[in-house]
Structure 1
Amino acid sequence: MLEEIDSRVQRLLRQVNRSTLAQLDSTYQVATKSNYNDLVTSIDRQNERTLNQGLREVDPAARILSEEGIGDDEVLNLAGHVWIVDPLDGTLNFVKQHDNFGIMLALYIDGRPTLGYIMDSVNNDLYHGGNHWGVFKNEERLVPPVDTTLRQSLIAVSSALILRNVANLPAVAQAASGLRMYGSAAKEMIGVLTGELGAYVSWLKPWDLAAGRVLAEELGLSVKSIDGDGINVLSSNLVLVATNGVARDILTRTE
């Protein structure tokens, strides 16, 4: 059953990504949400409708939590099959750069991180896996990143956390080999999965975290809360995704 779901979801994601790229240079509506940096476009909403409709066909009994609110009205627990959908991650980049954005989906079954999908949209690369099957970039199986130290690693930290000096993170950045920021959870997560980054730290909402958590844990990476509240994929969290060595180094500096 999961094999069939996985195959159909991969096809659905590639279909939605083709449509997204085809509209990249077209005219679309842009609106603000919480502030002028928090954007939503008509393409976000179109993608969400298409993804949610496709997921209901693939997994009819599932509930759907999606960023723009087109899924189920309330998803208060992870009982049964729950899909978590980010229809266009990095919308500000999409609008301003036409680059560095993605699409993310995850399936949790009775609370267990089960399947994850991150589409690197412009490069048309799909990172997917879970369920003890491994993690793949398209058809190529990824090997777990080398377990380096903070000093040896590039890291990504949300700019808001650096600017506000949250959890001593500016000092963490200074202790690293270097600081890199895409402004897209999809791109930052891919960086950690592939070993280009040793860690990613950000305040993540459910749709920002769900897919990356599945894939990172499948590779044996650390997914931890920095703010001490623990990981709750149905709420917002200050999250560290990292190799185990880098996670240890960072956590000793943020305590």
Structure 2
Amino acid sequence: MESKLQFAQALVRQAGSYIRQHMSDDLAIETKSRYDDLVTNLDKDTQNFVVEAIQTAYPDDFLMGEENNLRHPIKDGNVWVIDPIDGTVNFIVQKEDFAIMLAYFEDGVGQFGLIYDVMQDKLYSGGPDLPLMMNDQTLEAFDNRPLTRSLIGSNGSMYAHNVSGISNLINQTLGVRVYGGAGISMAHVLSGRLLAYFSHLYPWDYAAAQIIGSQLGYELLTLDGEQVDYQSRQMVMFIPSAYKQTIQDYMERGK
């Protein structure tokens, strides 16, 4: 498994280099489900780059990806889950705060995940039997700090509309941070910069963080506290297990 992780680490760095080389090109930008759900030719090209490398190295493995309707179920064999550019709006408008994410499963069990902050050159990676690292620094387990000394990340609309009492919970903390991308936000949870993160996500948005976070004291659940389905877009929370009941109590009162 370690050799496969090393392959994945090299691959996402190569993909990041590819993006940096081409991000100043004229981009073809398309709208998907709504005006702020965008995809560029570089999203598609980056996914094709990653897919081709995986298929060459591991021809018997399967793929789930954001683009091109790659939808192999994670419980069926060896499956890679790919998000080529998470935070596409940030990528288009700001040229930063976007990530490449890659996760690897065997018969539904997450073996490792990677979140690569492309412009900061920060690679978060690891799994149940692998080192949990940000570049060459060990990721520390959740430190059980109090809500009143914490920040929480959230989807802006969910916070503004107090979905399931999220803003009630955040009002007990030092405030909210909205980064515009799941990968960057959940990387901030893994590094301890955020206590938790709430958003409306697809499987490729959360797969890598769930694998890494499960080894550091975090859980990825729906807002109702159920396991995510790895099939559809769901409202989810990435939270410390130590605060699960407290967070659910605030959210229950907010319904």
Instruction: Please indicate, yes or no, whether the TM-score normalized by the shorter chain is above 0.5.
Output: yes
Q: Distance in 1 between matches of 2:98 and 2:243?
A: 25
Kindly tell me the number of residue pairs found equivalent between the two proteins. Answer: 252
In the alignment, what sits opposite 1:184? 181
Q: Distance in 2 between matches of 1:225 and 1:148?
A: 23
1:251 equivalenced with 2:248 (yes/no)? yes
Q: Please report how far the alpha carbon of residue 105 of structure 1 lies from its aligned counterpart in structure 2 after TM superposition.
A: 0.5
In the alignment, what sits opposite 1:65? 64
Question: TM-score, normalised on structure 2?
Answer: 0.93
In the alignment, what sits opposite 1:164? 161
> Which amino acid in structure 2 is aligned with residue 52 of structure 1?
V
Alpha carbons of structure 1 residues 56 and 145: separation in structure 2 relative to 1, 3 Å: same
List gaps (5 residues or longer) in structure 2: none
In the alignment, what sits opposite 2:121? 124
* Cα RMSD (Å): 1.5
In the alignment, what sits opposite 1:200? 197
Alpha carbons of structure 1 residues 77 and 22: separation in structure 2 relative to 1, 3 Å: closer
The 8 Å contact of residues 227 and 237 in structure 1, kept in 2 or not, is answered as: no
1:47 equivalenced with 2:46 (yes/no)? yes
Secondary structure of 1:28's counterpart equals: coil
Q: Distance in 2 between matches of 1:98 and 1:49?
A: 21
In the alignment, what sits opposite 1:79? 76
Q: Please report how far the alpha carbon of residue 164 of structure 1 lies from its aligned counterpart in structure 2 after TM superposition.
A: 2.7
In the alignment, what sits opposite 1:215? 212
> Which amino acid in structure 1 is aligned with residue 229 of structure 2?
N
Q: Distance in 2 between matches of 1:235 and 1:65?
A: 12
Q: Distance in 1 between matches of 2:225 and 2:246?
A: 16
Q: Please report how far the alpha carbon of residue 70 of structure 1 lies from its aligned counterpart in structure 2 after TM superposition.
A: 5.4
Q: Please report how far the alpha carbon of residue 231 of structure 1 lies from its aligned counterpart in structure 2 after TM superposition.
A: 1.7
Alpha carbons of structure 1 residues 51 and 35: separation in structure 2 relative to 1, 3 Å: same
Q: Please report how far the alpha carbon of residue 193 of structure 1 lies from its aligned counterpart in structure 2 after TM superposition.
A: 0.3
Question: TM-score, normalised on structure 1?
Answer: 0.93
Secondary structure of 1:45's counterpart equals: helix
Q: Please report how far the alpha carbon of residue 191 of structure 1 lies from its aligned counterpart in structure 2 after TM superposition.
A: 0.6
Secondary structure of 2:205's counterpart equals: helix
In the alignment, what sits opposite 2:29? 30
Worse overlay, 166-175 or 234-243: 234-243
Q: Distance in 1 between matches of 2:185 and 2:147?
A: 16
Cα shift readout 1:158-217 (whole Å, capped 9, x = no counterpart): 112123321011211211211101011111011100000000011110110100101100
1:139 equivalenced with 2:141 (yes/no)? no
